Structure 1
Amino acid sequence: MPDIDRERAWLLTVDGAPQSYVDLDDPTYIEFEYLRRLAHVVDCAASEGEPLDVLHLGGGALTLPRYVAATRPGSRQDVVDADRALVRLVREHLPLPPRSGITLHAMDAREWAGRAPAASVDLLVADVFTGSRVPGHLTSLAYAREAERVLRPGGLYAANLADGAPFAFLRSQLATFQAVFADVALIAEPSVLRGRRFGNAVLLASARPLDVAALARRTAGDAFPARVEHGASLRRFVGDAQPVTDADARPSPEPPDGAFSVG
């Protein structure tokens, strides 16, 4: 069940796993490293301050939508989360500022994507976890094609994933999105990519060339620097992994004990 720990500056946990950290007084402050990387993606998605139409699959405490609203006023954002208890809790305890442009919906993420108009968003962010695992129905080739359909020409897809060595899940996800999008990249800490620990990785995909250099500069400057894998290095990482079909889709692996613990 969702819970907000007011003693720790609005830390939201779901079934013991940290989901969001939000500062209502400073929506540009982002605590979690993977969300900082998604914020870098937002920063590089268009010229500074330019409004975006964004679809968020998975919302948590709306940390990233609040960041977009603060840094890109006038943006229109739909946030979709299947956890109705979480949606109610966020609405009641973490109110959005007036005229934020953010609309929160309680619905399954893939169902919403399937109903969304074609070419309707500039950025699609997937950060959907059931507990600590990405649901299988958001990992397949058919889902990747739905995401591509919803994006405007040149739009950007970004997904928060989690895996550890030997990276069977992460490699299959990269192969799946490479089968649909012209350009794909991966942002992760070197320690995760070297297999030293289980952790988050951000998958990026677009029909246009990604601004890898700008993303690499931003992620390298974080407190916990990350690396952007792209081109030949990413192809080596993916290896012989194959795209995932709906019939073969499985949730992301169960994290080891303590991988995402609070405290």
Structure 2
Amino acid sequence: MRAEVDHGVAELVAEPDRPTAWTLLVNGTAQSHVDLADPTHLEFEYVRRLGHVLDTAAPATRPLRVLHLGGGAWTLARYVAATRPGSWQRVVELDGALVDLIAGRLPADGLDIDVRVGDARYELQQLPAGSVDVLVVDVFAGARIPAHLTSVEFVGAAARVLDAGGVHTANLADGAPLSFARAQVATAAAVFPHQAMLASPEVLRGRRFGNLVLVAGRAPLPVPELTRAAAADPFPARVESGTPLRRFAAGARIVTDRSAGPSPIPPPGFFGQPEQ
């Protein structure tokens, strides 16, 4: 089905071999995949990697306080509700009509997911200090990450709401020469002493455009656990941290509100976009 939303056209596409599964596209860009019967099923590669971050953020089944910036179809919020019952979760989505569409067509009743309509950075700044265990940033305007969510001031706001052992994670998209991703690592390093990056080897080597999941925190990150989980995926990923990640970001400038720009335009066909 297709529907007009605040920022274009949304489409929910049924999956032929999974009768309870749907893919959400907005303006032709694949935003989310949800299986209503099995919220633990994470279809997209980068979402699986974000799932690994959530899985390793605390001992199994322990409830978490999770803020999701970027709503889509609330895939990861549903995942956390299924794997960590009793978690406090808030999803922030700018498009109110999209929120209404998802609530009506892909309901998440009884999962205790608080969905707010608003700007991601503004809503982040309204939360009390130390009130979040995991911050998941997965915001795209069309197929690009908005500039105001890429700066050191934004990362500083993220650090403020996280508790001492909290984890900041962001879905990035970039291709050779990976200038955007390198700058995002350098920017996170200006705020958080510990960082890691999950991505496929082809993307890390700049051989193709793709997703990179950035993880950062004040406390040491569970890199061995993330490495094992990412390596066991159907499409394995590498985890870079420590000296290799510092080399990856060497020479990159820290992004500020004054210098920030959106992520690169993806090539035709990426994110489910039609060929031009």
Q: Are residues 1:117 and 2:108 paired?
A: no
Map Cα deviations across residues 109-151 of structure 1 (whole Å, 9 max, x no partner): 0000111111101000000000110000000010000000010
Report the secondary structure of 2:166's partner residue.
strand
Q: Are residues 1:6 and 2:18 paired?
A: no
Instruction: Measure, in 2, the Cα distance between the counterparts of 1:174 and 1:262.
Output: 27
| CA displacement at 1:7 relative to structure 2 | 4.8
Which segment drifts farther, 152-161 or 8-17? 8-17
Among 47, 55, 59, the alignment partner of 1:43 is: 55
Instruction: Measure, in 2, the Cα distance between the counterparts of 1:206 and 1:255.
Output: 28
- Which segments of structure 1 move beyond 2 Å, counting only runs of 4 or more? 6-9
2:4 matched residue in structure 1: none
Which amino acid in structure 2 is aligned with residue 72 of structure 1? R
Report the secondary structure of 1:86's partner residue.
helix
Report the number of matched residues: 262
2:228 matched residue in structure 1: 217
TM-score, length-scaled by structure 1: 0.97
1:165 matched residue in structure 2: 176
Report the secondary structure of 2:271's partner residue.
coil
TM-score, length-scaled by structure 2: 0.93
| CA displacement at 1:97 relative to structure 2 | 3.2
1:83 matched residue in structure 2: 95
Instruction: Measure, in 2, the Cα distance between the counterparts of 1:223 and 1:7.
Output: 19
Map Cα deviations across residues 57-105 of structure 1 (whole Å, 9 max, x no partner): 001101100000000000010000101121111111111131x121111
Q: Are residues 1:53 and 2:52 paired?
A: no
Which amino acid in structure 1 is aligned with residue 187 of structure 2? T
Which amino acid in structure 2 is aligned with residue 198 of structure 1? F
Identity %: 56
Which amino acid in structure 2 is aligned with residue 88 of structure 1? D
Map Cα deviations across residues 143-174 of structure 1 (whole Å, 9 max, x no partner): 00000001011100110010001111111100
- Structure with greater strand share of residues: 2
1:59 touches 1:79 (CA, 8 Å); kept in 2?
yes
2:82 matched residue in structure 1: 70
Which segment drifts farther, 137-146 or 3-12? 3-12
Which amino acid in structure 1 is aligned with residue 11 of structure 2? D
Report the secondary structure of 1:74's partner residue.
coil
2:211 matched residue in structure 1: 200
Which amino acid in structure 2 is aligned with residue 2 of structure 1? A
Among 143, 149, 158, the alignment partner of 1:147 is: 158
2:241 matched residue in structure 1: 230
Which segment drifts farther, 7-16 or 75-84? 7-16
1:2 touches 1:85 (CA, 8 Å); kept in 2?
no
2:36 matched residue in structure 1: 24
Instruction: Measure, in 2, the Cα distance between the counterparts of 1:5 and 1:260.
Output: 14
CA RMSD of aligned residues (A): 1.1
1:2 touches 1:15 (CA, 8 Å); kept in 2?
yes
